[in-house]
């Protein structure tokens, strides 16, 4: 039996070709890919010049990896394992970055880490005074809402006076530090990621490395120090305004006097409650600065990558804030602190 000759080449002939549009280009592209997969020679010399020019432009840039949707279906177990591996790798990257920061702090103590003083003061201003308006507004509203929600329940038992306890204790131990940290994560942490991501796009970080300048010492350390200084101060300010917000609701809605609210607030808390909030604010500052700077340094070389890094920094910081808040709250309760 005689074997059939193997197809070796395909020639496209465009006889009587009139109007054409992008659909023809799409078909020709698929034909070209089909021939390339099967090692057929494809001749398109007879095509109009405009079509050949557009096809050449389409093949001039390599297709982006992962641009097409994969037809493979992965099981739930596979996706779970893949996610677990990604989370583990992310934890390793954060641990490595934290170690580099610790070494940078040690170099700073020994006088071997250097950064520009003007940049540091600009970062202090951006992380502190410029954040006061939004922190003040949110703190007052959170204190007022906390007092109003508590008052609705406490009025049933004639215990309106304990609204002061609820607002003061909640602000000092939890809400003041946490709400301030979330605001700063969305405002300052994302700004850090955008700044460092833009420097990646403009190759400024590569230039600093070429000159032998430590990126951690020169870019990350001043941002970390700025947040470590300013976030506890903003937390104290938010605590005060949260208590004032509760005072406004108590006086205007519950008919409590100013003196009653102040005395009850003072008797319900101690210095340890204020200390708990400040300890949390320091931890939150570290989390926000690390998330923003790490995502910025991991950014790609285009504008889309900078936007993705900014979003990732904010989401990571808020997630870690909630996690660390839960951990520290449980620990302080176990230690009866």
What is the mean predicted confidence (pLDDT) over 291-318?
A: 90
Residue 70: its pLDDT value, please? 55
Band (pLDDT 50/70/90 cuts) for residue 179 is very high
Of 91, 251, 83, the C-alpha closest to 160 is 251
Tens of pLDDT, residue by residue over 257-274, are: 889 888 988 888 889 989
Q: Let me know: does 115 contact 213? Beta carbons within 8 Å.
A: no
Residue 269: its pLDDT value, please? 87
What's the whole-number average pLDDT of the chain? 86
User: What does the H/E/C string look like for 46-100?
Assistant: CCCHHHHHHHHHHHHCCCCCCCCCCCCCCCHHHHHHHHHHHHHHHHHHHHHHHHH
What is the mean predicted confidence (pLDDT) over 164-169?
A: 91
What is the mean predicted confidence (pLDDT) over 145-158?
A: 86
Q: Which of 102 and 58 is assigned the larger pLDDT?
A: 102
Band (pLDDT 50/70/90 cuts) for residue 212 is confident
Q: What is the DSSP letter of 11?
A: E
pLDDT higher than 90, residue 224: yes
Q: Which of 25 and 81 is assigned the larger pLDDT?
A: 81
Q: Which of 256 and 236 is assigned the larger pLDDT?
A: 236
Of 245, 271, 226, the C-alpha closest to 127 is 226
**Alpha-carbon distances, residue 90 vs 48, 83, 87, 270 (angstroms):** 52, 10, 5, 39
Q: Which of 44 and 125 is assigned the larger pLDDT?
A: 125
Q: Which of 140 and 153 is assigned the larger pLDDT?
A: 140
Tens of pLDDT, residue by residue over 286-301, are: 999 999 999 999 888 8
| Helices (H), ranges, the chain | 22-37, 49-60, 76-109, 117-127, 132-154, 163-170, 176-184, 190-201, 204-210, 215, 221-252, 258-268, 271-297, 303-334
Residue 1: its pLDDT value, please? 42
Residue 317: its pLDDT value, please? 93
pLDDT higher than 80, residue 238: yes
Q: Which of 46 and 118 is assigned the larger pLDDT?
A: 118
What is the mean predicted confidence (pLDDT) over 203-216?
A: 88
Residue 314: its pLDDT value, please? 92
């Amino acid at each position: 039996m005689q074997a059939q000759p193997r197809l070796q080449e395909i020639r496209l002939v465009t006889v009587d070709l009139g109007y054409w549009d992008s659909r023809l280009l799409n078909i020709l592209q698929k034909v070209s890919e089909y021939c390339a997969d099967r090692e057929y020679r494809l001749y398109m010399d007879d095509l109009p010049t405009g079509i050949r020019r557009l096809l050449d432009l389409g093949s001039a840039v390599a297709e982006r990896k992962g641009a097409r949707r994969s037809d493979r279906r992965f099981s739930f177990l596979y996706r779970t394992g893949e996610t677990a591996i990604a989370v583990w790798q992310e934890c390793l990257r954060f641990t490595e970055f934290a170690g580099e920061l610790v070494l940078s702090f040690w170099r700073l103590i020994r006088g071997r880490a250097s950064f520009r003083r003007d940049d540091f003061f600009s970062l202090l201003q951006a992380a502190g005074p410029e954040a006061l308006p939004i922190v003040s507004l949110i703190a007052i509203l959170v204190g007022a809402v906390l007092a109003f929600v508590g008052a609705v329940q406490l009025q049933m038992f004639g215990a309106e006076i304990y609204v002061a306890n609820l607002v003061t204790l909640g602000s000092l131990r939890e809400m003041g530090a946490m709400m301030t940290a979330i605001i700063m994560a969305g405002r300052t942490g994302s700004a850090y990621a955008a700044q460092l991501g833009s420097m990646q796009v403009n190759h400024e970080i590569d230039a600093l490395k070429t000159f032998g300048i430590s990126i951690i010492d020169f870019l990350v350390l001043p941002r970390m120090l700025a947040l470590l200084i300013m976030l506890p101060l903003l937390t104290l300010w938010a605590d005060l305004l949260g208590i004032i917000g509760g005072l406004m609701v108590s006086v205007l809605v519950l008919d409590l006097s100013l003196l009653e609210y102040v005395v009850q607030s003072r008797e319900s808390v101690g210095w340890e409650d204020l200390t708990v909030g400040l300890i949390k604010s320091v931890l939150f500052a570290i989390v926000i600065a690390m998330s923003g700077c790490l995502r910025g340094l991991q950014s790609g070389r285009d504008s889309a990558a900078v936007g993705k890094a900014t979003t990732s920094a904010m989401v990571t910081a808020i997630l870690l804030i909630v996690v660390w808040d839960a951990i520290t709250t449980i620990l302080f309760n176990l230690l009866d602190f």
